[in-house]
Amino acid sequence: IVLTQTPLSLPVTPGEPASISCRSSQSLSDSAYGTTYLDWYLLKPGQSPQLLIYALSNRASGVPDRFSGSGSGTDFTLRISRVEAEDVGVYYCMQRKEFPSVTFGGGTKVEIK
Amino acid sequence: QVQLVQSGGEVKKPGASVKVSCQASGYTFTNYGFSWVRQAPGQGLEWMGWITAYDGDTKYAQKFQGRVTLTTDTSTSTAYMELRSLRSDDTAMYYCARVGARPDYWGQGTLVAVSS
């Protein structure tokens, strides 16, 4: 399964919204279990990846509510309602439909204008 | 609290092997697995493989099959990743991550540099 993220780079203004797209080569939805095997991670400079969103739209513990995930099937979006300076880094979508094998999108670098 | 502490950075020559450790604490070790993920300079995240701490079952990415071995030691709550026949393009930051349904907690990363 191949994940394609756009854009590659996203300059943002603090306080403004931002969105990142992730497209999968196969559906990541599982109607039998009522879930979608798509998560989002953020890799901040000098830090380890941190889980932001799991199973399409569930915020991980401690993640601010300005982050939200949506989509279905093969098209997914991560939205930041109001970008803050601490949100800079590279965002990755990850699929785990073929668990335990996972694949990551190519990443989207978010930087402040 | 859950913590994954990885071993320190390594410098290796081409053709050598490297073994990175990941010591876990703050949870029941055998209830989870580990994925190993790397990031080469200027590149994205790349999944290498997974091991369950329960019974040592493994799954490797095809790219690394035959060159990587994942193990765990339940007596010390430590996971290991060994990569053999190192090449310059194996220079990367290597991360371990605890895996339940998904990678949730990550180690701090171990920089492996391969240079002659």
Taking CA atoms, what residue in B is nearest to A37? B102
Per-residue model confidence (pLDDT) at position A86 = 95
The predicted-structure confidence for B46-87, as pLDDT tens digits, reads as follows 999 999 999 999 999 999 999 999 999 999 999 999 999 999
Q: Does A50 touch chain B (CB under 8 A)?
A: yes
Lookup: tokens for B23: 């010591």
Give the pairing type, strands B33-39 and B58-60: unpaired
What is the mean pLDDT of the segment spanning A19-35?
95
Q: What is the structure's pLDDT at B21?
A: 98
- Nearest partner of B98 among A49, A44, A56, A107, judged by Cα: A49
Distance from the A71 Cα atom to the nearest Cα atom in chain B, whole angstroms: 19
Measured CA to CA, the distance from residue A7 to residue B72 in angstroms comes to 38
Provide the pLDDT confidence category of residue A12 given band limits of 50, 70 and 90: very high
The stretch A59-72 carries a mean pLDDT of 96
Residue A106 touches chain B, beta carbons under 8 Å: yes
Shortest alpha-carbon distance between residue B98 and chain A (Å): 11
Q: What is the mean pLDDT of chain B?
A: 97
